[in-house]
Every structure is written in structure tokens, then in C-alpha cells.
Structure 1
Amino acid sequence: MQQVLTLCAAPGALAADTVAAAVELLKEHAGRVEEPHWLAPGEAADIGFEADRPDRALAALRAALESLPVDVNAGPTEGRRKRLLIADMDSTIIVGESLDELAEHAGIRDRIAAITARAMRGELDFEGALRERVGMLKGLPATTIDTVIDGLQLTPGADVLVATMKAAGAYCALVSGGFTPMTGAIRARVGFDEDRANTLTVADGALTGTVGEPILGRDAKLATLKELCAARNLPLGSAATVGDGANDLAMLEAAGMGVAFRAKPAVRDAAVFRIEHADLRGLLYLQGFSASDFAAPRT
């Protein structure tokens, strides 16, 4: 089967010499290697190839180039363009964790951030960790939610990713273990077709310290992937998913292109596709989009 190796990096960080070296290395593990095709000068390039064991070829290339600030991924040429995108929000579409930002206003950021980090590494049960952290926010004024929303920062490339995939006909969903006020705001800002997340319970103008049940976690993200594919008569292979934490891993493993984005080590190691150096436009390069194909984000 025809395969394609995609190299991508931060703008200006992918040298022509690196691409040339990748071609030569690939020749040692593949029967046929094509000339590189630049998707964005200094940023991303495709190299088509055929190999009996493309997984071994990929592993060899990753090992050889691991000291360079370059993402190395490979997959079949057929079906590269995906028709569905499901994205995690915290530390993926936005910078940082929205729950940690709420904790900042409660003066307990360090305590909650430590639990968040362990949960995202898969060291704690996600649902239990979420209940514990929300419980620590009991009494926080509900107006704090709006303050946090105003300060949310998009991860570079998030708006271009969604705009380009939608322009190509894909359906884009934001599915988060975070909270609906934040996902709703980011959905509207970036242009996702829908958002799903957990609910924070509010009474008398303050957080009650409880979260609505059932909690949207790892299983719910996978179920959403299957539901949205079925609703559009798409195989799972036609979907792209992206996330960074342990609660994203099931949907990353099930999708045709599951991308661990600057992910926790266990998630990065388990995922077939990984992006550590490029921004979220890297998901577009993995689908064969050139920079000239990118759609303008909503203003």
C-alpha cells in the first residue's frame, strides 16, 4: 500500500537537509521512495513510499531524527483527508487547563493543578479526580466563569485547523472533559459545529462544588466518535481525533487519524500519530493539505 511520510515543524524549523536525509534513510527501509513534496517551505513536507513494514520504517526514521525539532509521522495515502474532527479542548485547542484557571481565582491553583496533571497522565480515575477538584471550588462566585472565559487563549493553528477542515466539508466537534460554558465560548470563537462537555452546578450565584452526571470522560469521548461517525455514515477511519490526556486515548486509538498533541508521555507513546513541535496546523499537513490550501479563520 502506498504510504506517505510527513515531516512538520515550527515555521522555519524544517531544513531542506533534514528532508533530504529523511529520503536517504527511508530508502534503507522502503522499496520505493518518491521525491519530497513541500507542503509549506521550511515547515512541512511529504515523502511518498512503499514498504512491506511501514511501521518499522517509521520507527527507524523517528529514532534517527529524534534529536531534531521535527515531527515524524506516516500513514496510508488513501483516505488521508478526514471527514470528521473531534478535538479535546484543554491543553489542545486552548492553552492550559480551564479548571486550573478557575482554581487560580479560588487561590488553590497549585493544589488543583497537581491533581489535574496526575489525571491527565492516567494516574488517577478521571471521573473521581474531576469530582474532587470541582468540590474544592465550592462557593466560588459564578461570575468567575466569565472571567476565565475572557482569558482563554487559543493554541496556535486551532482556528486554521477548524476553518480548513470545514471548508473541505468536514464536521468538527469539540468534546471536552471540561465545562460547557468554556466549550460553548470556544465553539463560537473557533467555528466548531458542536461542543460537548460537563456541567458545573450553580446555586445562589456560586458554584455548589458538584458536577452534573454522568461525567463526560474517556468512554464518553469514544462513544461520541462512534455516534458522530454513524450519524454521517462514516467509518471510524474517516475521522481525525486530537488530544493530550489519558481520557483522550480511547478516541485517539479508534479513529483513522488519532493525534497525540504535545501529549502526556503515556498518551504520546500509545498514539500512532504525534505532534510535539508543530502547532495544530500539523493535523492539516498530516492530511496532505498545503499551506496554500488553508482557509482563513473566522474573525
Structure 2
Amino acid sequence: MTSQNHARFLVVLDADSTLIRNEVIELIADEAGRGAEVAAATEAAMRGDIDFATSLRSRVSALRGVPLSAFERVLARIEETPGVRQLTSTVHDRGGIVGVVSGGFHEILDTVAPDLGIDVWRANRLGIENGALSGEVRGEVVDAEAKADSLLQWAREHGVSRDQTFAIGDGSNDLQMMKVAALGLAFNAKPIVKVHADLVIGRVDLSEVIALLPR
């Protein structure tokens, strides 16, 4: 891999349904017995039918009372996307860096990201009261604008020119990030994302991205 402060190129992925197969908020909602309800709201948000930040706060409110001990069960259900380890390994071998920016949660990503070879990541943080979720998001929501800003910030921090940046996502909140990157890739994507992406990856296998990377 390249030095910490300089990289040849940058690949930034969404987390839920991209880096991993799951939608983490739905797994947590299952612990509250509200999985189906939250899944329907997540689908609407990813299609772009609802403002993401508003939708996220509404969905997180359904998680109120879920004990922190449930996170262990949630983590056990996480499925990595096929090809993810091949992708991160190849990026590192070629002198690149891999970032993940997610509308999901640090409480899960802080465990999952380093295991999958991710170098930098950003996500939302869940409010906690008395050993359980409070039903609130702590701080500003990581929305579409924040995703785009994160890609540009990481590029600056690691000396990567914008024309050597790649963004990979599936939902409408990934579109701004994909627009600011040199190449925006729709992966396992909703129809609106496929329409606006530079390229569409057909197979749900992240190793398909490798052929597009600098050698």
C-alpha cells in the first residue's frame, strides 16, 4: 500500500448494499420488531422518493430501546459483498486508498470496515441512553452532500487528483458523490442511479471494478 499521506488514486464506496449485502438499519430494526416497516422506508429513501435526512431520523426513531448488546447479533448477520476483499487488496497493491462513506452507522462500520481492508470511513452515530438506543442520530446526518464532501476531502488529504477518484454506490443519496468523482459507478443500484451513473456494474461482485482501476 501507499504511504498514509499520499495515494495514486481513491476509491470510495457506499456501505449498505454496496460494501456489504445488508441494510444495517433493517437488521437493527429487526431487534425492535420493526424490520418490515423500516425496510419499506429505506427502499423509498434509496429510490429518492423521500429526503434522506428526514427519512433517516424517522427510521432511527423506530430503533429506540434496542439494547447495545443487540449489536453483536447484528454484526453476526453482516454479509460482505462478493469481491470486496479482492477489490481492496488490488487497490492497495496498485498504490490506491479505499474509503467508505455511509448513511449507516459507525457503531457497525467501525468493526466491519477495517476487517474488509478499508482505509478511511465516515458514517452516522446513534444516540445512546442507559445502554440502549435513544432513537436519535447524534450530530449532523451523513447525507448526499456529506458523501460528496468526504470524497473530495479524502482526495485532498491523500494527494489524489480529482481525475483519479472513483465512487461506487446504489442509492439516490450516492449520486452527488458519484457526480464529483471522475468515474461514478452504479453497483447493485436503484433505477435512478443507473440512469445517472457513468457506468453500471451488472454483476453483484466488486471484483468487477478492478478492470477499471489504474495499473
TM-score by length of 1: 0.67
Q: 1:237 to 1:187 in 2, by over 3 A?
A: same
For residue 182 of structure 1, what is the aligned residue in structure 2? 108
The Cα shift of 1:262 comes to: 1.4
1:37-186 correspondence runs (5 A): 83-186=9-112
SS across alignment from 2:185: strand
SS across alignment from 2:206: coil
SS across alignment from 1:242: strand
Taking the aligned partners of 1:199 and 1:145, their CA distance within structure 2 comes to: 13
SS across alignment from 1:210: strand
Taking the aligned partners of 2:53 and 2:139, their CA distance within structure 1 comes to: 10
Taking the aligned partners of 1:232 and 1:256, their CA distance within structure 2 comes to: 16
Taking the aligned partners of 2:9 and 2:20, their CA distance within structure 1 comes to: 22
Counterpart of 1:178 in structure 2: which amino acid? G
Q: Compare CA radii of gyration and give the structure with the larger one.
A: 1
Decide which of 236, 241, 255 is 2:162's aligned counterpart: 236
The Cα shift of 1:150 comes to: 1.8
Taking the aligned partners of 2:214 and 2:93, their CA distance within structure 1 comes to: 15
For residue 285 of structure 1, what is the aligned residue in structure 2? 211
Counterpart of 1:164 in structure 2: which amino acid? T
Counterpart of 2:195 in structure 1: which amino acid? D
Task: Determine which structure has greater relative contact order: mean sequence separation of CA pairs < 8 Å that are 6+ residues apart, divided by chain length.
Answer: 2
For residue 255 of structure 1, what is the aligned residue in structure 2? 181
1:207 aligns with 2:133: yes
Counterpart of 1:122 in structure 2: which amino acid? G
The Cα shift of 1:99 comes to: 0.3
Structure 1 ranges of 4+ moved more than 6 A? none
Taking the aligned partners of 1:181 and 1:150, their CA distance within structure 2 comes to: 14
Taking the aligned partners of 2:170 and 2:45, their CA distance within structure 1 comes to: 11
Which whole-Å deviations, capped at 9, do the CAs of 1:131-188 have from their partners, x for residues lacking one? 0001011111111122101210101001110111011111111111100021111112
Taking the aligned partners of 1:142 and 1:92, their CA distance within structure 2 comes to: 25
For residue 225 of structure 1, what is the aligned residue in structure 2? 151
Taking the aligned partners of 2:206 and 2:156, their CA distance within structure 1 comes to: 26
Which whole-Å deviations, capped at 9, do the CAs of 1:27-75 have from their partners, x for residues lacking one? xxxxxxxxxxxxxxxxxxxxxxxxxxxxxxxxxxxxxxxxxxxxxxxxx
Figure out how many residues of one structure are paired with residues of the other and give that number: 208
Taking the aligned partners of 2:72 and 2:129, their CA distance within structure 1 comes to: 16
User: Do the aligned residues in 1 keep the contact of 2:82 with 2:204 (CA within 8 Å)?
Assistant: no
Counterpart of 2:131 in structure 1: which amino acid? G
The Cα shift of 1:278 comes to: 5.1
Q: What do you get for the CA RMSD once the two structures are aligned?
A: 1.3
Counterpart of 1:251 in structure 2: which amino acid? M
Question: Which range moved further: 226-235 or 254-263?
Answer: 226-235
Unaligned runs of 5+ in 2: 1-7
Taking the aligned partners of 1:253 and 1:185, their CA distance within structure 2 comes to: 29
Taking the aligned partners of 1:202 and 1:166, their CA distance within structure 2 comes to: 36
Decide which of 105, 119, 132 is 1:193's aligned counterpart: 119
Decide which of 261, 273, 278 is 2:199's aligned counterpart: 273
Counterpart of 1:123 in structure 2: which amino acid? D
Counterpart of 2:139 in structure 1: which amino acid? E
Taking the aligned partners of 1:95 and 1:190, their CA distance within structure 2 comes to: 13
Taking the aligned partners of 1:115 and 1:174, their CA distance within structure 2 comes to: 23
